[in-house]
Amino acid sequence: MITIRDKNFVPLIEADAIQARIQELAKQINQEYAGKQPLLVVVLNGAFLFAADLAKHLTIPCEITFLRVSSYKGTESTGQLKEILGLTESITGRDLIVIEDIVDTGKTLHDIYNQLQTHNPTSVAIATLLYKPAALQEPIDLHYVGFEIENKFVLGYGLDYDGLGRNTPDILVLE
Ligand code: IMP
């Protein structure tokens, strides 16, 4: 068990299971992108460990870049929108694989997907380590999903609670 501030977290997915699943996802990507050279677009901060471990098992040629999303912005009339920061490469005509830690409401990836599409990439696929189907509010096409989980707060292996807990090999869930 890990305690961070006032909250207790207990094991949910152990390191061995995470690594085994990542190898399966990499194998699938290697097959589906054979003959291509995708650009991996890693969403910081949460996806840093997932992206690193996934990339180690990719045998196709690939490039890696990183982006952040701003906190929600916008007005009441336009609704809330997350903006992409830090993407410097041209993505026009590229096969993109967006690497995310978790899809919760789906709003973050929905906004990222739409903004990437405005630059006319050849294709955009999404790889997420975790997915909470019960929390989803924006329909989104997820191509590679590590684990579907219950709608509970999780941490570890990149995911944080209040900035802490990203550096564990396991994924834990709020008790
Ligand atoms: P969404 O826009 O609601 O899908 O939220 C996605 C982002 O919220 C993720 O990239 C995470 O940074 C954060 N997030 C969502 N659920 C969790 C969780 O259970 N633990 C830690 N972070 C989470």
Instruction: Using DSSP bridges, classify how beta strands 123-131 and 95-103 pair: parallel, antiparallel or unpaired.
Output: parallel
Residue 171's region, left for phi above 0, alpha for psi from -120 to 50, else beta, is beta
CA of 104 to the centre of ligand 1 (A): 5
Evaluate whether 130 touches 149 at the Cβ level (below 8 Å). yes
Q: Report d(CA 119, CA 113) in Å as an integer.
A: 11
**Residue 45: cis peptide before it, omega within 30 degrees of 0:** yes
Residue 112's region, left for phi above 0, alpha for psi from -120 to 50, else beta, is alpha
Eight-state DSSP code of residue 97? E
Evaluate whether 171 touches 159 at the Cβ level (below 8 Å). yes
- The three-class DSSP label of residue 154 is strand
CA of 161 to the centre of ligand 1 (A): 10
- Quote the pLDDT of residue 83: 85
Which residue in the block uniquely carries the two structure tokens 């007005």? 75
Pocket of ligand 1 (CB under 6 A): 46, 100-108, 153-155, 159
- Quote the pLDDT of residue 173: 97
CA of 102 to the centre of ligand 1 (A): 6
- Quote the pLDDT of residue 81: 75
Question: Going from the N-terminus, what domains does the chain have, and what CATH number goes with each?
Answer: 2-22+38-174 (3.40.50.2020)
CA of 110 to the centre of ligand 1 (A): 13
pLDDT digits (tens, 9 = 90+) for 11-59: 999 999 999 999 999 999 999 999 999 999 999 999 999 999 999 999 9
Q: Which of 66, 98, 104, 154 to mutate to test the pocket of ligand 1 (most atoms within 8 A of CB)?
A: 104
Q: What is the pLDDT along the chain (175 residues), one digit of tens a residue?
A: 999 999 999 999 999 999 999 999 999 999 999 999 999 999 999 999 999 999 999 999 999 999 999 766 554 555 577 888 889 889 999 999 999 999 999 999 999 999 999 999 999 999 999 999 999 999 999 999 999 999 999 999 999 999 999 999 999 999 9
What is the atom index within ligand 1 of the atom nearest the CA of 135?
A: 3
- Quote the pLDDT of residue 72: 62
- Active-site residue 104, yes or no? yes
Q: Report d(CA 100, CA 108) in Å as an integer.
A: 10
The residue from 95, 104, 141, 160 that is catalytic is 104
